[in-house]
Amino acid sequence: MQPIDLLIEPRWLVPVEPHGVVLENHAVAIDGDRIVAVLQVAEARAHYAPRERVELAEHALIPGLINAHTHNPMTLMRGLADDLPLMRWLQEHIWPVEARFMGSEFVRDGVELGVAEMLRGGTTCCNENYFFPDVQAATYRQLGFRAMVGLPIIEFPTAWAQTRDEYFEKGLAVHDEFKGEALLGTSLAPHAPYTVADASFERIRILSDQLDLPVHLHLHETAQEVEDSKREHGARPFARMQALGLVNDHLIAVHMTQLTDAEIAACAEAGVSVVHCAESNLKLASGFCPTEKLRRAGVNLALGTDGAASNNDLDMVGEMRSAALLAKAVANDASALDAASALRAATLNGAKALGWNERIGSIEPGKQADLTAIRLDDIETQPLYHVISQLVYAAGRHQVSDVWIAGQRKLRDRVLVDLDVGELRGKTQRWRERIVT
């Protein structure tokens, strides 16, 4: 018998690829950080000698969820300023708090809180967009969490950098420092068209091409953004990005609530990935992303939570449900963004947006073992007729029981393996006291 590290035997296995498939009486064989086989349980037991065997009698095993757009340090500002429109929320509340408190300690503690929440909700990978990327990357590495860390670029001074040149210099230094890390990657993260100048975008395009880096950008988030751009630049933000050469398969366009049919077609042709943040857009009344039009046009559609300061959680299980329901209302079509497509958007499509779809996002031999187990025997998910529908429309993140990243157990029976919840709660309370004061 072949020795391996781990054999997981769930009641239901949802590999995501092939699309919409649910396998029963199947096991996942894992050695090191890799999936070596997906096969019948009886065959797996006959062929492999695992050091650990995990039986999940009433669980669905899915790929780890991928939060394709978040600002995890902002978790420390959860609920700070609710029920406000985007620009008032930013200008009158979020930016002033950041000006006072943002620094290495704030970012480290916020990332740690975000990782704890994400793991308990079945998320194994995030696409991060915030300041102090060096601290972020070091914290994700320490916690063994998979992350694409954005290198921030914005035209005004912050605690991280004072000038345009400093943003680029410090960001590239972070890229060089962490480029060999197994669980980490970097992207270029200009904040938005209304906070970044053409000269910066031109440098970003050159660096993206030279270094093969994604460009992680808030784009067409609100109608006001579009109107302001037409007045100031004589073009819609998307057209401005096209003129600057940024509409290509490196672009991760976040929000995209204001789109014409021509812009959707251009995204499909260029290979742009769109990240839909349903709950944040609803809460800030930013608009409605035409997700079903994008999906039917062939655009890679991923899901993100945005930051907990505007959502107010990092719950990708809930985000799947919100995205699926909202898509139906916007398209006036009950079949829009069906359950299997919502799960794919939260897993394999997120991996594709990051350029990691050969590595993660589905349960297939050769991929890294980023996995999430969800109990489906709770009263809230009974009776069970269709596993994927139940995962999207009925399950909650409190039913996530176990999580692995690259074959390493990160959550065991709802208990975090590497994080002290009491210590984390104490840090969070101290930040609350400082910010309130």
Whether 429 has a pLDDT exceeding 90, the answer reads: yes
* Tokens matching residue 387: 């596993």
Distance separating alpha carbons of residues 175 and 278, to the nearest angstrom: 30
pLDDT band at 87 (very low <50, low <70, confident <90, very high): confident
**For position 418, what pLDDT does the model report?**
93
Distance separating alpha carbons of residues 4 and 124, to the nearest angstrom: 22
Distance separating alpha carbons of residues 392 and 412, to the nearest angstrom: 22
Indicate the pTM of the whole model: 0.98
Whether 202 has a pLDDT exceeding 90, the answer reads: yes
pLDDT one-digit tens code per residue, 175-186: 999 999 999 999
**For position 365, what pLDDT does the model report?**
98
Whether 213 has a pLDDT exceeding 90, the answer reads: yes
CB atoms within 10 A of CB 251: 23
Instruction: Please state whether the peptide bond connecting residue 85 to the residue before it is cis, i.e. omega within 30 degrees of 0.
Output: no
- Helix and strand numbers (H, E) in the chain are 17, 17
Distance separating alpha carbons of residues 57 and 363, to the nearest angstrom: 19
CA 294 to chain centre: 19
pLDDT band at 16 (very low <50, low <70, confident <90, very high): very high
CB atoms within 10 A of CB 166: 12
Mean pLDDT of 303-332: 97
pLDDT band at 356 (very low <50, low <70, confident <90, very high): very high
- Rounded to the nearest integer, the mean pLDDT of the chain is 97
> Is the Cα torsion angle 94, 275, 358, 2 positive or negative in sign?
positive
Distance separating alpha carbons of residues 71 and 160, to the nearest angstrom: 15
**DSSP-assigned states of every residue in 12-69:** EE--SSSTT--EESEEEEEETTEEEEEEEHHHHHHHEEEEEEEEEEEEEEEEPEEEEE
Bridge-based pairing of strands 146-153 and 123-128 is parallel
Mean pLDDT of 190-210: 98
Domains of the chain in start order, with CATH, are 2-63+367-416 (2.30.40.10), 65-354 (3.20.20.140)
**For position 437, what pLDDT does the model report?**
85
Nearest to 276 by CA among 245, 300, 296: 300
Whether 67 has a pLDDT exceeding 90, the answer reads: yes
**For position 21, what pLDDT does the model report?**
98
Distance separating alpha carbons of residues 258 and 252, to the nearest angstrom: 16
Instruction: Give percent above pLDDT 90 in the chain.
Output: 98
* Tokens matching residue 105: 């300690």
Identify the bridge partners of residue 125 per DSSP, sorted by sequence position: 66, 146
| Alpha helices (runs of H) in 53-127, residue ranges in sequence order | 86-89, 95-101, 104-120
pLDDT one-digit tens code per residue, 128-153: 999 999 999 999 999 999 999 999 99
Whether 86 has a pLDDT exceeding 90, the answer reads: no
Distance separating alpha carbons of residues 304 and 277, to the nearest angstrom: 5
Indicate the burial class of 158 (C-beta count within 10 angstroms; 0-12, 13-18, 19 or more): middle
The count of residues in the chain is: 437
Mean pLDDT of 244-250: 98
**For position 85, what pLDDT does the model report?**
86
What is the SS3 assignment for 200? helix
Distance separating alpha carbons of residues 115 and 123, to the nearest angstrom: 9
Whether 71 has a pLDDT exceeding 90, the answer reads: yes
Identify the bridge partners of residue 133 per DSSP, sorted by sequence position: none
Burial pattern 94-131, b for ≥16 Cβ within 10 A else e, equals: beebbeeebeeebbbbbbbbbbbbbbbbbbbbbbbbbb
**For position 142, what pLDDT does the model report?**
98
> 133-143 and 104-120 helices cross at what angle (nearest 10)?
40
* Tokens matching residue 53: 């065997």
